[in-house]
Structure 1
Amino acid sequence: MSTTITTATATVKPSTPATPPLPQLIPSLPDDVALNIIARIPRCHHPTLSLVSKSMKSLISSPLLYSARSLLKSSEHFLYITLRLHTSHFLRFYSLYQNPSNPINPKYSLIPLPLIPSPSLVGSAFAALDHKIYVLGGSIKDIPSSQVWSLDCRTHTWELAPNMHVSREFAAAGVVDDKIFVIGGCVVDNWARSTNWAEAYDAKTGKWNSVPSPIQIRDKWMHASAVIDGKVYAMADRNGVCYEVGSGSWGTVESDLDNGWRGRACVIDGVLFCYDYLGNIRGYDVKEGMWKELKGLKKGLPRFLCGATMANLGGKLMVVWESKNGNGKEMEIRCAEIEVRKDERGELWGNIEWSDVVLLVPREASIMHCLAVAL
């Protein structure tokens, strides 16, 4: 039973016991010094660190740790892959994980992430900004959506982001100056779709703003996109367009780039990599305006006649593709990490650092997208 103590000047009630502070991260070290040390530890060891103490577990899931990693330039790049399993009504997201227990022969595998809360999305666009992956639009039962979902790659949790102004499917998307630009993916049949045929999302304000675009280019449906030197390239079936963010100007894609761009590409040091009609990887050097074969890979990779998906993982070329499995019931998802360079004559060379099977899936599965996030 509580009591009240009365004095000549005030009435004082017993205080509620305060929550005891968490213990130091590392005994005998100030927490700011400990944070400086922990932020340098590779992220693959974080699950083990979280078992050390409650304070360590709290830090591992805290934005403070990732801010420190960024300031110390200790951020690592992680590959995220999206698959469509035809046995499921949802897109499935995976993260490429390296087992740290065997540093001599590390084994890579794809780890499944929590399901996106939305039903099956077809034709969504994807973009990575800071520590989040954004899933932009797509159709649900053949009805285009304006909905945007974001995956926080620090905690692997989903949340709704502000809707786009218009519904889209098969749009182009790219990130420039910390903003997501989305282009096309809608039929311009009213004022709203015409005005917002292209729009940009500012994550700091949480708002979408329309991007003015010429009338003659607003009927494009996009099959690929990339960002090169501050320009967002949006590729239609024919005559792709590009938007230069700095000047706000629109233009057409160079005919050689337009004709030679095939499949899902990525950009490394101003060179756009994709595969050609013979199934070989090649790069388009924007400064020289020409395609070049990526040499040194013929014995290490198959011909990608059925396509491959590519991503820039901290300057390395990551290639992800589907491959048949011997048992006939499953399909292999294979991945290769390639170091790319340009020699003194300007030729492109690749060196395969590793290549392996990273996941077995039902035969009907297909790769939708892959991209990298720095954490």
Structure 2
Amino acid sequence: MGQFLSLGGQKCRTGDYTKVSQNDTCKRQRMSSSFTEESARLIPSLPDELSMQIIARLPRIHYFDVRLVSRKWMATVMSPELFKLRRELRKTEEWLYLLTKVEEDKLSWHALDPLSRKWQRLPMIPHVVYEDESRKGFSGLWMWNMAGPSVNIAEVVRRWLGRKDSLDQMPFCGCAIGAVDGCLYVLGGFCRALTMKCVWKFDPIKNDWSEVTSMSTGRAYCKTGILNNKLYVVGGVSQGRGSLTPLQSAEVFDPSTGSWSQVPNMPFSKAQALPTAFLADMLKPIATGLTPYMGRLCVPQSLYSWPFFVDVGGEIYDPETNSWIEMPNGMGEGWPARQAGTKLSVVVDGELYAFDPSSSMDSGKIKVYDRKEDAWKVVIGKVPMHDFADTESPYLLAGFHGKLHVITKDSSHHIAVLQADSCSSPSSSSSLFAGSLNENSGSMAESDAVVWRVIGTRDFGPAEMVSCQVLEI
């Protein structure tokens, strides 16, 4: 449905040269292009400066085609100078990047241009082998054996708390996903029985992956957030003595310097206030989310020991004071999705929203945090869903174009991106998931004073949703 973002050259057409073999034709075209491109202008009869102004105004979806015009065009649409000009002209675009798990050990990235409603597939993360010098026989540790942060931690923690042999049996491992400075980042995760420090960056301008400076600590199932154009990583688990240990540590990555710095540990203050030493030893503190809000990092937390868990509010990191404070009671205790798993939340137009799943498993609610009253309030009474009993991650949240979006999957394998639009008199139309989704059908669903619009859909087959990020380029 979408075209691949490969950098392969334009194919030669044998029909243009009936008396010359295909190889000779390609060779002749390469020689001809290399001879003329050095002196050729981007657009004949126009200075390159003016041509750049024209190209910068093109929708970015067209760059995948126009780069095939010539090597000079390819270099232009992959140059930082062009995208700097786009920012100056206020022609940047917000795209949604969706991570899916194709099989137990394979991840696949897809990008959606909301304006054209076209999908693009990103290159795969390179297959890289990491060798562990301390353990012989573990030379084949593959970077692609990863999974995302949106998987329910309850199922994962149940496997490793008190069990030393479960790591090798885990079907995938929990890398973290982040986005900063116009690039995607994949951080840490498990490689068989090891927690990884490695960090991979995808540059959408160059359309390739590269490995950057590793974290100071190997982490899996950690949480990420952006403040002041820096990528923060908090919590997660790390490999301990024969088992996994929850982490209270945090660190921050500065893309301008490519370096990591330490952040004070999360105190987990409420975990320290447990009434008995037995509970303190049994219940493990877990960071169950991270959302940048009002210039600070909000981290909801839980205490967990299968099959028991309890939400314990959370803590907030203030970069100005470089310290943690306890989260307001109403914010922490009422944070939706009260389970030992990732709590989905997003900030749109300065407001903090969170998804609260329904017990009926076919709908959900959207709540917004009221700072003045320190309380969560329902703003959308029903988010249209379908039967997702067999889906690990049936929904994701995203904010772009100044609106709230829900990404969900139905039983027919259709992944849909739903946009919440305010409507003073919403129409009484049928359910959005009545049958197969069709983004051209213009179907809507009534939900209080909100009309849900499908701005993108695709059949991803049995692939599971893992995580999503938004990049403005």
TM-score, structure 1 normalization: 0.79
Q: Does 1:236 align with 2:301?
A: yes
TM alignment of 1:1-375, pairs within 5 A: 21-86=38-103, 88-97=104-113, 100=116, 108=117, 110-117=119-126, 118-121=143-146, 122-186=173-237, 197-213=249-265, 215-216=267-268, 220-237=285-302, 238-239=311-312, 240-258=314-332, 259-262=334-337, 263-278=343-358, 279-295=364-380, 298=382, 301-302=384-385, 307-325=394-412, 331-339=413-421, 350-355=450-455, 357-362=457-462, 365-375=463-473
Alpha-carbon displacement from aligned partner over 1:157-201 (angstroms, at most 9, x marks no partner): 1111110000111112111111111111136979xx999811111
The letter for the 2-side match of 1:151 is: F
Shift of 1:289: 2.7
The letter for the 1-side match of 2:259 is: K
SS of aligned partner of 2:408 = strand
- Distance, in Å, in 2 between the alignment partners of 1:60 and 1:324 is 39
Q: Gapped runs of 5+ residues in structure 2?
A: 1-34, 127-142, 147-172, 272-283, 303-310, 338-342, 359-363, 425-447
- Distance, in Å, in 2 between the alignment partners of 1:99 and 1:272 is 25
The answer to whether the Cα contact below 8 Å between 1:90 and 1:116 also exists between their aligned partners in 2 is no
Shift of 1:254: 2.7
Percentage of matched positions with identical amino acids = 26
The letter for the 1-side match of 2:378 is: E
Shift of 1:251: 1.6
* Closer/same/farther in 2, CA of residues 116 and 20 from structure 1, 3 Å limit: closer
Moved more, 286-295 or 232-241: 286-295
* Closer/same/farther in 2, CA of residues 355 and 244 from structure 1, 3 Å limit: same
- Distance, in Å, in 1 between the alignment partners of 2:365 and 2:387 is 7
SS of aligned partner of 1:251 = strand
- Distance, in Å, in 1 between the alignment partners of 2:357 and 2:246 is 35
Shift of 1:226: 1.0
Moved more, 174-183 or 140-149: 140-149
Shift of 1:22: 4.1
The answer to whether the Cα contact below 8 Å between 1:22 and 1:55 also exists between their aligned partners in 2 is no
TM-score, structure 2 normalization: 0.64
Shift of 1:350: 3.9
Shift of 1:234: 2.0
- Distance, in Å, in 1 between the alignment partners of 2:202 and 2:371 is 32
The answer to whether the Cα contact below 8 Å between 1:109 and 1:358 also exists between their aligned partners in 2 is no
Alpha-carbon displacement from aligned partner over 1:51-74 (angstroms, at most 9, x marks no partner): 444432221121211111112111
* Closer/same/farther in 2, CA of residues 40 and 274 from structure 1, 3 Å limit: same
* Closer/same/farther in 2, CA of residues 286 and 120 from structure 1, 3 Å limit: farther
